[in-house]
Structure 1
Amino acid sequence: MPEGHSVHRIARQFARNFVGRRIAVSSPQGRFVDGAAMLDRKTMTASRAVGKQMFLEFDGVLWLRVHLGIYGAWDFAGEITTDATIRSAGGRMGQTSQRGTDEPAGLGEQAEGSLADIAPAVDDADGEDSVRSIGAPRLARVRMAEQEKEGELETFPPEPVGAVRVRLLTDSAVADLRGPTACQVLEPAEVDAVIAKLGPDPLLDDSAEAEQRFVDVVRRKPTPIGLLLMDQSVVSGIGNVYRAEMLFRARLNPHTPGRLVPEETARALWRDWAYLLDLGVRTGQMMTMDDLDPQRYAKAMAKREDRHWVYKREGLPCRLCGTHIVLEEFGARKLYWCPKDQA
């Protein structure tokens, strides 16, 4: 399932390429005909991500709410660029520029321009960082970019590929949505009601109040912290990858009841999520290992298996202590952790 950084990147891609333009909205699959008719020929006026959910505003009166779930994805074609200076709905964006350097750019550095100018110098083999297709794993579905090479569309717009729930089309760009868990047209009050049920998102609110809200909720719950981090009413955007990695980075046993998590540890979790989420938005990849030299950094950016501490490393030795990483079913999801460093 796409995690928070991917959804924020999608929202900002819409902000750069669709907001301010009149949109032709259709449902090639036929499952969203009525909703498409409500939005068709309206101007997209805002795009916003809150955790794993995205909201696109039309004419300031209606919103398209999308939750990608496990199988959903957006495919983009046409003139698509990203812009590090875009700010949407209280969020912030910056892309780390590494072109022409021998080491990763500083976390505070920003760049502006097309994807070719600001994307990481190393294209990761797993396709986690992509301007063309964001969402479910690439191999799980047919994508526009697999039919024609990027930038070489013979006709525009291209024909829909696969079961496209919603197509958003301008005179120069198109976005196709497939397989979402949720796709609905909402009025502003309904959007507010959905967001009110979500936990804080540090990209939208990194205030002391948001941190305290997270800490208070965690420390009054008997639920294991490994489940609380995945609860979108507790904190927004964390999925299976970030959950495993954050718990390892905190050296915290996933089964620890929230109420037994020390306050300083709970605060550290919130601040680490703010850091990792921001880094994920800027690089397009879930980089969770720190203090890598330039060679190891480039290797990690190229392959997912080299940028995580425990995720999908079951049976392999822990990078710190050598103990084999454990895989277990936890809350109907796979959990990876080190039984020694997280004891």
Structure 2
Amino acid sequence: MPEGHTLHRLASALDGAFAGHPVRVSSPQGRFAESAALLDGRVLRSATSAGKHLFVDFDDDDVVHVHLGLYGKFAVHRAAVEVHPPVGQVRMRLVQADAGDGPDARASYADLRGATACELLVPAQVEAILDRLGPDPLRPDADPDRAWARIKRSRAPIAGLLMDQSVVAGIGNVYRAEILFRHRVDPFRAGNSLRVSTWRAMWDDLVVLMADGVRTGRIDTVRPEHLTEAELRSRRRRGLNYVYRRAGDPCRVCGATVRTEELQARNLFWCPRCQPRFRSRAVGAGS
């Protein structure tokens, strides 16, 4: 499932391609046809995201809510020479309606496929979705203390809490594994045993890492001092991680074998030496 930085990049791409323009809206697949007919020809005002949710705002306060889920793709083609016919199960198609004619005309278009959710909402319904989400490290209005209020009361493993979108929005399996490693936190440690200083350091790190993800389009979490000589020389290095999907490999820092275990139906990755099992003397030390 795409993580939060991917949705922010997608919102920016849609905004750049369509904001302020009337768009032709259709549903070649048919599942969004009724709503598409209501939006067809109207001005797309903006696209934004929160966590793993995308919101496309049209005039008259109608909003298309998209959740890509595991298999969704939203391909944006900006200023294309030709708008190609839809291929496959396109749930929603957007085409710039004021691109003009002639050999030099360029039109942006976008095709949504395979999304878990694609629905037309009013602002009150959008607010209801936002109210269910925890703070998103990529949003300027995010308040990390809202997440901390949940974490410090919970006995659940911190690795599970980080994947709970009502605690923190936008974190997926990669950011979860990597942020815990970078801060040497036992993924099975109860939330209410975490120190607030550790949480704030993790949050600040997430803000930087996820912003880099928006900028580059990939998740890079390895500090330069932990890269191999070959990786430092390579111009094609991308998506390098400490522990995510490195089960059985040596830890980049200590050389111990990276482990994996299923937690809440998702594979968790960690280093048992860099992230030793936490043994609390006094549960609830939140100072």
Which of 112, 125, 146 is residue 177 of structure 1 equivalent to? 112
Cα shift at 1:215: 1.7
Counterpart residue number, 2:49: 49
Q: Within 5 Å, give how 1:325-336 maps onto structure 2.
A: 325-336=258-269
In 1, distance between residues paired with 2:232 and 2:117?
36
Q: How does 1:33-182 map to 2 (within 5 A)?
A: 33-79=33-79, 156-170=82-96, 171=99, 172-182=107-117
User: Cα–Cα, structure 1 residues 175 and 241, in superposed 2: closer, same or farther, change >3 Å?
Assistant: same
Residue 249 of structure 1, aligned match among 152, 170, 182: 182
1:182 Cα deviation after fit: 0.9
Residues 135-176 of structure 1: CA distance to partner in whole angstroms, max 9, x if unpaired? xxxxxxxxxxxxxxxxxx6xx210111111110111301100
Classify 1:225/1:331 alpha carbon distance in 2 versus 1 (closer, same or farther; 3 Å).
same
Report if aligned partners of 1:78, 1:157 keep a CA contact under 8 Å in 2. no
- Aligned residue runs from structure 1 range 212-251, under 5 A: 212-251=145-184
Q: Aligned equivalents of 1:298 and 1:37: distance in 2?
A: 53
Q: Work out whether 1:265 is the aligned partner of 2:198.
A: yes
Give, in angstroms, the shift of residue 311 of structure 1. Answer: 0.7
Q: 1:281 aligns with which of 174, 195, 214?
A: 214
Give the structure, 1 or 2, with the largest relative contact order (CA under 8 Å, sep 6 or more). 1
Q: Name the structure 1 match of 2:134.
A: 199
Find the aligned partners of 1:26 and 1:59 in 2 and give their Cα distance. Answer: 17
Larger radius of gyration: 2
SS at match of 2:224: coil
* Percent identical residues: 44
Deviations, residues 102-159 of structure 1 (Å, cap 9, x unaligned): xxxxxxxxxxxxxxxxxxxxxxxxxxxxxxxxxxxxxxxxxxxxxxxxxxx6xx2101
- Residues 13, 76 of structure 2: 8 Å contact kept: no
TM-score when normalising by structure 2 = 0.88
1:338 partner letter: C
**Paired residues of 1:287 and 1:301 also in contact (CA < 8 A):** no
Give the match's secondary structure for 1:229. helix
| Partner residue in 2 for 1:299 | 234
Structure 1 vs Structure 2 CA RMSD: 1.8
- Displacement of 1:206 in angstroms is 5.5
**Shift of the alpha carbon at 1:300?**
7.7
| Distance 1:299-1:312 versus aligned 2 partners, 3 A rule | farther
- Distance in 1 (CA, whole Å) between partners of 2:232 and 2:57 is 38
DSSP 3-state at the match of 2:115 = coil
Q: Which runs of 5+ in 1 are unaligned?
A: 81-152
Residues 342 and 49 (structure 1), Cα distance of their counterparts in 2 relative to 1, 3 Å cut: same
2:11 partner letter: A
Structure 1 match to 2:3: 3
2:248 to 305, 315, 322: 315
Q: SS of the counterpart of 1:74?
A: strand
Kindly state the Cα deviation for residue 37 of structure 1 after the two structures are TM-superposed. 1.2
Name the CA distance, whole Å, in 2 between partners of 1:3 and 1:57: 21
Call closer, same or farther: CA 1:47–1:17 in 2, change over 3 Å: same
Contact preservation (8 Å) 2:220, 2:238: no
Please give the secondary structure, in 1, of the residue aligned with 2:234.
helix
Which string of whole-angstrom CA distances, capped at 9 and with x for unpartnered residues, describes residues 315-341 of structure 1? Answer: 001111111111111110111111111
Q: Does the residue aligned with 2:83 lie in a helix, a strand or coil? A: coil
Inter-CA distance 54–298: structure 2 relative to 1 (3 Å threshold) = farther
Count the aligned residue pairs.
265
Please state whether the residue corresponding to 1:79 is helix, strand or coil: strand
SS of the residue aligned with 1:244? helix
Displacement of 1:31 after TM fit? 1.1
2:118 is paired with a residue of what secondary structure?
strand
